[in-house]
Structure 1
């Protein structure tokens, strides 16, 4: 009996030294948190392919769709919880604790927009999941820009914003950057990803992109035109309690002060800077009296409709651009016809009884201000590359973003918004003038470089240099060709399944998943 007792004792001792394996979801959550911490506004976002490679490998080795959905959802929920941590906190400051608590619901909803398509990719492509995932990412991110719940925050392509690789956006928009980031993740996740030829091929692609990005970026040169960016730093909570003409006077005084040293080609006020439409008799004479072409945010002047608008003013009103993409649950109440019975008590609890959706704009209007043709994005619209592309195709020689990021509070939200908007300048090769209520007010040149940036939260008016351009990039000419190419690739892969030779695993083919085990979620 002695040997048996010794054997039992040894097993018990070994069990103490080797605790039970960690639950598989913990690894997924850790990967998502790492990606969230690496992502914008961190310059380390360029490392995004590393945690994404972990996700890709988990998806490819999943036993099926259910396991893949679990891995993807936990990863995405952890990512958005880190990436959007500022959102509940900022909304709690504005709307109270209930508002912050309700905003938490955005996190699982956003996670599902990643998890469901990625799990579907695993089901549809099986052993070729790693090959299909990069193209699936491009498609799902394109879908996240559509519809009343559009929310493209966190698209993988934005990880390259602060690198020379961002210049590829002039060729294929943020979709091309997403393809590069997620394609690299699949290469790293593949069984052959550690082999020298595969690593060298991946490094060659990144190296070529970096070299090309540096070559197409010219040295800094003086810009011949002058704009005045006006940052009123008005507390948004005061605006919510009721608009007053005091806000209007603040912007008038700041603009006059900035024009004393000399004339300017353009003055830009932020979103909702004026409580009155620019065409209102109580506002237009004062705006005209500034003696400078002006672009400002103000309420729309369509009777019976609440609109968030931008006006061009030069002697008179030269044009109006209404905000076309409204912030879900902020400026619009999606599916209110069906969900109205739910909205009513929630809005009442938030002290917003009677609130309704704004009327979205339907038309693109390039605002004419002498020889300037401004394509305007109002706040949230700056994360939708298609809008800036449409404006340039319609003749815009300058991009302008007017915003009120004071709603974001002091968290990372305003910085994320600003960094994403930088790609619009690269995609179109246009100067981008940005005026925010409390920031970020800045000038971005056609290569995405920040030429000027005002201090956040400071009230002031800033004279800045800019220029115009008539260049048409491949992205402007051909649009979302990367998206359509990805759709075609996925269709071809679906209709013509590949075959593997026994004993010879392909580089982007997943290893067979076990029938059951702790990794199957």
Structure 2
């Protein structure tokens, strides 16, 4: 027999098995809300109910099992949700679920504490704790917003228009609150009890969990809703307000005339991103050159290629040519870019001297070289401007703990991971005809704060340069574009995605995807990108303030929970002294 569950009887193996099964099913159903293995586009409605069992388990289980359940849920969900990471590297499909499972150990403990310490308002405290987690979990070195609950609604445009005020965070809160609320009721019904009295913080406390102390009654759902009618009314008002705001926003923005239409030819060359070497680089260049010349016949204002579309570094090979054929290919590429009558935007690594005081080739035969994941803009016969990626993919592009964890650093290097240098500027490109745009590279567009910073700096269009071809999964590409949808709504700026293999499309300020190109095909397409300038339309509240409100909310949650923990500790000390 396992440990006692205090007032709720003894816990045996069957009890634990039932809770584990419920959590696993909850994780699997939650993963199906997103584009994934079962549904390439996902079924977002599942995200409104799939976590109710999770909160029911947290309510009925013990403290001792809570950390294990947190790790289990996080591991299973991300194993299913990010199944395509196995294509990237066997380590990746383990690293991500382990990290996210580890994060959820702390999340589940916080949720358990909220449920026990704030019985009357436990569900509300849980909702804020979950919201704070979604922010904090994307804010450290291994921050990874994939799987955030709000992103499941990328197709429900009327519900996501509030993102221009709250960012993704307001949508997360509206989706999680009813599930913490109903999870409490389901948890009580599961064990056949419902709590109605007590003292302590907000009319609750540890006395609920001692034999003979709690008052328990049976409660139907209607009785529960009636008892919590004020909370239900407030939530219904929030949802109604969200729907009204969404309908008005969609109507308003659909009727708005953009400042101009920017004709952009997007080239999707669909290359195997794992193949390297001169022959592959030459083949890719020939494909992109051919399709770009075809597009010129339709008079585009600009041509865009994808992230690292041309792999040999222009900056390195023009200054420190070491391979004659590669240097000649770089010269050919430069000549082509400079010869075009319209701007060409392409991803290209920027190689620089790692130590400017040393020669490019060191005495030990190693290159004195560091690389940035970069973007080049060709216009008027020259390389006009560049951008360096600021937010690097953890573990695969960046690992800052070489001294603290040399074993992991060396393991990653031994598994062919290589590091990029970090850029520091939110570059805004401007074409000769006055279009101002910024280029978040690949993973960068999953972070709202970065896109908001680009727009605050002056970007009127977002051009996402990405390469997800390595995933070999349509669902991985849809997961990525689903998050890009929110960046356009948050900033009310159009996005055009220049991708290797998909999803190449335009996203309007209402989050509508226009004429997406089929993934994993070699093609090009002309897009008329609506340009909305800050001079005409201003900046949204989210653009102006970014994630600052979420930082404050997260700090408030931490302080509130710390004070509650201190209160509980004080109560126990007082009770021990009474004895």
Who is 2:152 aligned against? 159
Change (3 A) 1:492 1:345: closer
Aligned counterparts, 1:41-52, within 5 A = 42-52=41-51
Count of aligned residue pairs for this structure pair: 466
Query: What is the distance in 1 between the residues matched to 2:131 and 2:235?
Result: 19
1:321–1:376 contact (8 Å) kept in structure 2: yes
1:278–1:313 contact (8 Å) kept in structure 2: no
Task: Give how far 1:42 is off.
Answer: 4.2
Change (3 A) 1:249 1:340: farther
Query: Could you tell me which of 22, 28, 37 is aligned with 1:27?
Result: 22
1:433–1:442 contact (8 Å) kept in structure 2: yes
Look up the SS of the partner of 2:496 in the other structure.
Answer: strand
1:287–1:313 contact (8 Å) kept in structure 2: yes
1:435 maps to 2:502: no
Query: What is the distance in 2 between the residues matched to 1:239 and 1:270?
Result: 16
Who is 2:376 aligned against? 311
Change (3 A) 1:125 1:188: closer
1:291 maps to 2:341: yes
Change (3 A) 1:186 1:403: same
Query: What is the distance in 2 between the residues matched to 1:81 and 1:411?
Result: 17
Change (3 A) 1:111 1:441: same
Change (3 A) 1:162 1:245: same
1:329 maps to 2:391: no
Look up the SS of the partner of 1:336 in the other structure.
Answer: coil
1:445 maps to 2:508: yes
Who is 1:206 aligned against? 239
Who is 1:368 aligned against? 430
Task: Give how far 1:347 is off.
Answer: 4.6
1:247 maps to 2:284: yes
Task: Give how far 1:243 is off.
Answer: 5.7
TM-superposition CA deviations, 1:87-118 (whole Å, max 9, x none): 22x22xxxxxxx32663232122122223133
Task: Give how far 1:416 is off.
Answer: 0.5
Look up the SS of the partner of 1:396 in the other structure.
Answer: coil
TM-score after normalising by structure 1: 0.82
Aligned counterparts, 1:109-258, within 5 A = 109-123=99-113, 126-128=116-118, 129-163=122-156, 164-191=158-185, 194-195=224-225, 197=229, 199=232, 201-218=234-251, 219=254, 224-239=261-276, 244-258=281-295
RMSD across aligned C-alpha pairs, in angstroms?
2.7
2:268–2:500 contact (8 Å) kept in structure 1: yes
Look up the SS of the partner of 1:104 in the other structure.
Answer: helix
1:226–1:265 contact (8 Å) kept in structure 2: yes
196-205 or 296-305, which moves further after superposition? 196-205
1:245–1:275 contact (8 Å) kept in structure 2: no
220-229 or 180-189, which moves further after superposition? 220-229
Query: What is the distance in 2 between the residues matched to 1:375 and 1:175?
Result: 24
Change (3 A) 1:102 1:252: closer
Change (3 A) 1:105 1:278: closer
Change (3 A) 1:276 1:492: closer
TM-superposition CA deviations, 1:54-81 (whole Å, max 9, x none): 22232234433x3322332222222212
TM-score after normalising by structure 2: 0.74
Task: Give how far 1:184 is off.
Answer: 2.2
1:38 maps to 2:33: yes
Query: What is the distance in 2 between the residues matched to 1:244 and 1:497?
Result: 60
Query: What is the distance in 1 between the residues matched to 2:93 and 2:341?
Result: 44
Task: Give how far 1:342 is off.
Answer: 4.5
Query: What is the distance in 2 between the residues matched to 1:20 and 1:247?
Result: 58
1:475 maps to 2:508: no
Look up the SS of the partner of 1:439 in the other structure.
Answer: coil
1:168–1:177 contact (8 Å) kept in structure 2: yes
Query: What is the distance in 2 between the residues matched to 1:424 and 1:114?
Result: 26
1:49–1:182 contact (8 Å) kept in structure 2: yes
Change (3 A) 1:330 1:293: same
Query: Could you tell me which of 287, 305, 311 is aligned with 1:269?
Result: 305
Look up the SS of the partner of 1:229 in the other structure.
Answer: strand
Query: What is the distance in 2 between the residues matched to 1:83 and 1:327?
Result: 18
1:390 maps to 2:453: yes
Task: Give how far 1:494 is off.
Answer: 4.1
1:302 maps to 2:391: no
Query: What is the distance in 2 between the residues matched to 1:44 and 1:404?
Result: 25
Query: What is the distance in 2 between the residues matched to 1:496 and 1:345?
Result: 41
Task: Give how far 1:366 is off.
Answer: 1.1
Task: Give how far 1:326 is off.
Answer: 1.4
Task: Give how far 1:305 is off.
Answer: 1.5
1:187–1:202 contact (8 Å) kept in structure 2: no
Query: What is the distance in 2 between the residues matched to 1:342 and 1:242?
Result: 34
1:60–1:127 contact (8 Å) kept in structure 2: no
Query: What is the distance in 2 between the residues matched to 1:363 and 1:134?
Result: 35
1:176–1:482 contact (8 Å) kept in structure 2: no
